[in-house]
């Protein structure tokens, strides 16, 4: 049996998504049990490069039908179209699971990360595109207010650009405030499925950079466990406090990032590349969610102040979130991904690519 299908059969509350909106990736992922998908500027630009011949006429048409549109306007039209296509592909899962799964995440403009009103307004707009839309926003200080407001407006949010227990807890609290505001007004919350992402691989990436920066002697295997440790700590807190937000793992780098969370009431967004690796592995499908991180690796990680900023619940204040190295690096990657997307689209405003 497929390992992913085996996991789904044994642990139906452990969900996995396809970390892509490419048609081929979604078809593959859904075929082995995926119940969601996700997008961001980097993913959309990569998908457009893969599927460009399929989208060329559409892009020309968007410019022709909207003669005053800028390349940025057309980029966002395209982002929405890719998101809606993913919604349509996941619609059978959404209907079968009665709205609890089968959604695709679409990300607000990352340039709004300081402006909660713009993020909340764009989230509310995205929420009108399809019934199975999830809206991603970054966990900056302004993002916390955006999560509360968007939740109050009925949006199923997905908190992203997230690398710490502090961020996850603050998001869960913001979402609870939004849900309670809706409930106080008699508004429905049963259809809402809030998510908080922790980008576990990007935590590991940053810790490796911090170790090189500070010339710290540390066992290299410990640096493959930082994200796992942060996620397991957040999961324990979420369960103890009964938050209605579901945690999601993202940014896969190694086998630990899958095998250590099997059996948990969690979601995982996994690239097609890693889905194929995991699906063909010999990993034993057993409940590992409550297994502790080996003490030897936690002792090594204890040497790193940047690990404690991510691991400790009071490791960062909201004002400090956007100054954490992983946050900065991820935003830079999203900015570059968006710039690449616009560069791909730009030639079509003239009717055909420039030669």
Confidence band, pLDDT 50/70/90 cuts, at residue 202: very high
Residues pairing with 249 in the sheet: 198, 268
The yes-or-no verdict on residue 348 having pLDDT over 80 is: yes
Per the CB < 8 A criterion, the answer to whether 195 and 159 are in contact is yes
The yes-or-no verdict on residue 346 having pLDDT over 60 is: yes
pLDDT digits (tens, 9 = 90+) for 100-129: 999 999 999 999 999 999 999 999 999 999
Q: What is the pLDDT of residue 353?
A: 58
Confidence band, pLDDT 50/70/90 cuts, at residue 22: very high
Mean pLDDT, rounded, for 318-324:
98
43 vs 203: CA distance, rounded Å: 19
166 vs 97: CA distance, rounded Å: 31
Per the CB < 8 A criterion, the answer to whether 297 and 127 are in contact is no
Tokens of 32: 């082995």
pLDDT digits (tens, 9 = 90+) for 152-182: 999 999 999 999 999 999 999 999 999 999 9
Per the CB < 8 A criterion, the answer to whether 170 and 219 are in contact is no
Of the candidates 351, 354, 336, 349, the residue with the CA atom closest to the CA atom of residue 70 = 349
Q: What is the pLDDT of residue 35?
A: 98
Mean pLDDT of the chain: 96
Tokens of 93: 């899962």
Give the predicted TM-score (pTM) of the model.
Answer: 0.96
Tokens of 22: 């490419």
Mean pLDDT, rounded, for 311-319:
98
Confidence band, pLDDT 50/70/90 cuts, at residue 220: very high
Confidence band, pLDDT 50/70/90 cuts, at residue 41: confident
**Cα separations in angstroms, 224 against 207, 267, 292, 298:** 9, 20, 14, 11
Q: What is the pLDDT of residue 351?
A: 77
Mean pLDDT, rounded, for 295-302:
98
Of the candidates 129, 44, 119, 57, the residue with the CA atom closest to the CA atom of residue 87 = 129
Confidence band, pLDDT 50/70/90 cuts, at residue 352: low
CA 33 to chain centre: 18
Q: What is the pLDDT of residue 316?
A: 98
Confidence band, pLDDT 50/70/90 cuts, at residue 1: confident
The yes-or-no verdict on residue 134 having pLDDT over 60 is: yes
Instruction: Identify the three-state secondary structure at position 199.
Output: strand
Specify the DSSP class assigned to residue 221.
G
pLDDT digits (tens, 9 = 90+) for 51-70: 999 999 999 999 999 999 99
pLDDT digits (tens, 9 = 90+) for 227-256: 999 999 999 999 999 999 999 999 999 999
């Amino acid at each position: 049996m497929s390992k992913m299908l085996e996991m789904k059969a044994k642990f139906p509350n452990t969900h996995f998504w396809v970390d892509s909106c490419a048609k081929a990736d979604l078809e593959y992922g859904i075929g082995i049990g995926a119940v969601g998908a996700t997008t961001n500027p980097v993913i959309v630009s990569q998908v457009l490069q893969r599927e460009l011949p399929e989208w060329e006429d559409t892009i020309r048409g968007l410019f022709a039908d909207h003669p005053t549109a800028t390349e940025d306007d057309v980029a966002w039209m395209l982002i929405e179209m890719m998101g809606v296509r993913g919604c349509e592909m996941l619609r059978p899962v959404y209907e079968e699971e009665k709205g609890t799964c089968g959604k695709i995440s679409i990300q607000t403009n990352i340039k709004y990360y300081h402006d909660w009103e713009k993020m909340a307004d764009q989230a509310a707009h995205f929420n009108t595109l399809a019934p199975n839309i999830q809206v991603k926003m970054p966990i900056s200080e302004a993002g916390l207010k955006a999560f509360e407001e968007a939740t109050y407006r009925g949006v199923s949010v997905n908190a992203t650009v997230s690398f710490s227990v502090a961020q996850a807890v603050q998001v869960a609290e913001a979402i609870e405030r939004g849900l309670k505001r809706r409930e106080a007004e008699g508004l429905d919350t049963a259809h809402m499925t809030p998510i908080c992402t922790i980008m576990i691989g990007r935590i590991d990436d940053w810790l490796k950079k911090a170790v090189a920066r500070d010339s710290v002697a540390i066992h290299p295997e410990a640096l493959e466990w930082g994200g796992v440790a942060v996620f397991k700590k957040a999961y324990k807190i979420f369960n103890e406090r009964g938050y209605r937000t579901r945690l999601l793992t993202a940014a896969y780098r190694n086998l630990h990032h899958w095998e250590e969370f099997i059996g948990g009431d969690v979601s995982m967004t996994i690239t097609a590349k890693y889905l194929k690796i995991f699906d063909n592995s010999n990993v034993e499908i057993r409940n590992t969610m409550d297994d502790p991180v080996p003490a030897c690796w936690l002792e090594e990680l204890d040497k790193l102040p940047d690990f404690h900023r991510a691991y400790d619940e009071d490791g960062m204040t909201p004002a400090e979130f956007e100054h954490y190295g992983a946050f900065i690096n991820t935003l830079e990657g999203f900015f570059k991904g968006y710039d690449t997307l616009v560069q791909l689209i730009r030639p079509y405003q003239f009717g055909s690519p420039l030669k």
